[in-house]
A and B are shown apart, each in its own frame.
Chain A
Amino acid sequence: MSYALQTLWHERTRYASGVLAVTFSAVLIALQCGLLLGLFKITSIPIDNTTADVWIGSTAVSSVDLGKPIPNSYITRLAGLSGVKMPEQYIANFANFFKPTGGTELCFLLGSLMDDNTSGAATLLSKEQREALTMPFAIVVDESDVKRLALDKTGDGEPKINGKKVHLVGTVKGLKSLAAPWVFCSLHTARQLMGPMLPPDHVTYMLARCDSPQRAKQVAEELRAQYPDDMVAYTAEDFSYRSRMYWLTRTKAGLAIGYAALLGLIVGAVITAQTLYSATAANAKEFAILLALGIPRWRISLMVITQSFWVGIIGITLAYPVCLGLRSIAMQFNTDVDMRWEILAGTAAITVGMALIAGTLALRSVKQIEPMNLLR
């Protein structure tokens, strides 16, 4: 074991505050980022819950809810490509939901084919629900939106979308909305509900499955290259990422959460620096002996930096289980915290970097060590 680590372990109570500060910062950063990504996952639900590999939409569409109508004829652009299976049409549009109890709510219609091989129907819809949705004006919503749309109440009126009566044939769990509730229906129903708001022979997207993810990438690239002016093609993964990033940057939520994380980072750095400073000052006489013996000051500085590195590593090691525990708690309250490895790795890099900076700040205590002070 290195002298730095040995000292850290021996004086663990002294270093505990620094380690806990790193842990606090790491948990804060990971959870904030996880919450943010979890929150913005909602914006890409229509993409992530289908089995389509390629999405074709209007030019420069930046998020799935911002697609403009494209001609039905574009389906032929997909149909002619090798490795592309069963292209289909998809409608995704905002609509007005009239609650049976009165009042309106903005909703987002997602209309797709409902047969067994469809790539556009939400994967959480059961076979029975898909069959039920083939009935005209049948809809399914997430159970969390039932109350919001007053579908659990019987009022004087009936639920309507864009002025046309609809009836709820089931609910799903796990397709929560951020602003406008998702309303799942058949392509035919969506077309009827949109009426003149959607030009004839137009839809919002064309979807298709591909032989492989690799082929999906190639297809998207080929289509983008071939039709750069009147449509855009993305892989599902790419479109999903773009949709999240659009709302992340558009709402500036990332900036707000970034500030909060930065604050946590600064607090962590200050506490860690102070802890290392105090610990080094406490060993000043021992270090002074080494200086008197001619051992260079950089050796001692290196030991302090090594200690700060270990403080960072131990702090992040403690932070991971805390993050996962808090994530489990959040999940019980239907709050998604996206703890993907990139977040955990990024948090580790940032907090260990922070600990190293704190160690560098603490080096001023090494500069103050003077062998002469050992003499009475």
Chain B
Amino acid sequence: MPATKTITTPSLRGVNLVKTYGDGDARRTTLHEVTIDLFPGQLVLLMGPSGSGKSTLLAVLSGLLEPDSGQVLAEDDGRLLDVWHLTPKQREEYRRRNTGFIFQGYNLFPALTARQQLEIVLKWGSGASSGDARNRSEEMLSKLGLLKNKNKKPALMSGGEKQRVAIGRALVKNPNFVFADEPTSALDWENGEKVIELLRDAAHERKASILVVSHDHRILPFVDVYYHLEDGHLERRPLPQH
């Protein structure tokens, strides 16, 4: 149930999160009492080897995967919510208001234009009118340098353009939290760099908390906070000096 305590920072807290998979001898603990704080306006990078539990932590924090124990506390309109104590419907509503997702695969609807990919989120999610959804979508595409591509379908866009549309889809509803799982791994570095810059700008300008899971060390200079996850243990690491 929603708590009534009002907080300002951090905007999202994972506290003593534990997640295990499998049974018996095959039982494997992916998250060992992980605690993490995400602050508004920060681009946070989560790195670690394959199978270290990065995607699991992202799923738990974003309200997609229930932890075995621990809490995910999120600031939502001045209230502090315990995400995994909400009912599924309340959690769906929480995600609708607060979260954006970006995945490695762009997962754009092949039949829809760039603008419609964004509009669908506003119309179906926020109940926005057609006119409002169109204006907000075009505004977002303009910020992403994609306005000229607004009527293009994914088949006619480059990988970088498609990922930028996917970012637009995640940001168009102005979420408090954005979760990006390997957003640059399918892109060359030129496009990958643009994508990371966009995410950093979104964090700084919109005061959103953006968590990026990646293997790509080239992202490090762009982020505000860097976490390393290995064998289910999370460690905050200093950013490299430039």
**A7-B111, A289-B103 known; A372 vs B97 contact (CB < 8 Å):** no
Q: Does B112 contact A374, Cβ atoms closer than 8 Å?
A: no
Q: Which of B56, B58, B96 contacts A293 (CB 8 A)?
A: B96
A372 with B121, Cβ < 8 A, contacts A11-B110, A286-B107, A294-B93 known: no
Tell me whether A296 and B58 are in contact (CB under 8 A).
no
Question: Is A375 an interface residue, CB under 8 A from the partner?
Answer: yes
Cβ contacts B101-120/A at 8 Å (1 or 0 each): 10111011111100010001
In B143-197, which residues have CB < 8 Å from any A CB? 153, 169-170, 173, 181-182
Size bracket, chain B contacts: 35 or more
Beta-carbon contact of A288 and B121 below 8 Å = no
Interface residue A334 (Cβ < 8 Å from any Cβ of B) = no
> Using Cβ atoms and an 8 Å threshold, which residues of chain A touch B97?
294
Chain B residue with minimal CB distance to A299?
B124
B92 at the interface (CB under 8 A from A): yes
Contacts of B169 in A (CB 8 A): 289, 293
Chain A residue contacts of B125, Cβ below 8 A: 290, 293-295
* Complex Cα–Cα for A295 and B110 (A): 19
A10-B110 contact, Cβ under 8 Å, with A289-B169, A290-B121: yes
The answer to whether B110 touches A294 (Cβ under 8 A) is no
Report how far A10 CA is from B156 CA in the complex, Å. Answer: 14
> Is the CB of A376 closer than 8 A to any CB of chain B?
yes
* Complex contact A11–B111 (CB within 8 A): yes
A341 close to B (CB within 8 Å): no
Q: Does B59 contact A (CB under 8 A)?
A: yes
Asked if A224 is at the interface (CB within 8 A of a chain B CB), the reply is: no
Contact of B227 with A by CB under 8 A: no
Our count of residue pairs bridging A and B at CB distance below 8 angstroms stands at: 82
Q: Mark B54-67, 1 if CB is under 8 A from A, else 0.
A: 01101100101100
Contact B107 A289 (CB under 8 A): yes
Q: Which residues of A contact B181 (CB under 8 A)?
A: 374-376
Within 8 A of B (CB), among A269-303: 283, 285-286, 288-290, 292-296, 299
Query: In the assembled complex, which residues on chain B have CB atoms less than 8 Å from the CB atom of A11?
Result: 110-111
Measured CB to CB, the nearest residue on chain A to B121 is A293
For the complex, give the distance between the alpha carbons of A219 and B169 in Å: 72
Residues of A within 8 A of B99 (CB): 292-294
Is B19 close to A, CB under 8 A? no
- A–B complex contacts, Cβ < 8 Å, 18 sampled: A3-B112, A10-B153, A283-B109, A285-B105, A289-B107, A290-B120, A290-B124, A292-B95, A293-B169, A293-B173, A294-B92, A294-B93, A294-B94, A294-B97, A372-B59, A372-B64, A374-B107, A375-B181
| A-to-B contact residues, CB < 8 Å | 3, 6-7, 9-11, 283, 285-286, 288-290, 292-296, 299, 371-372, 374-376
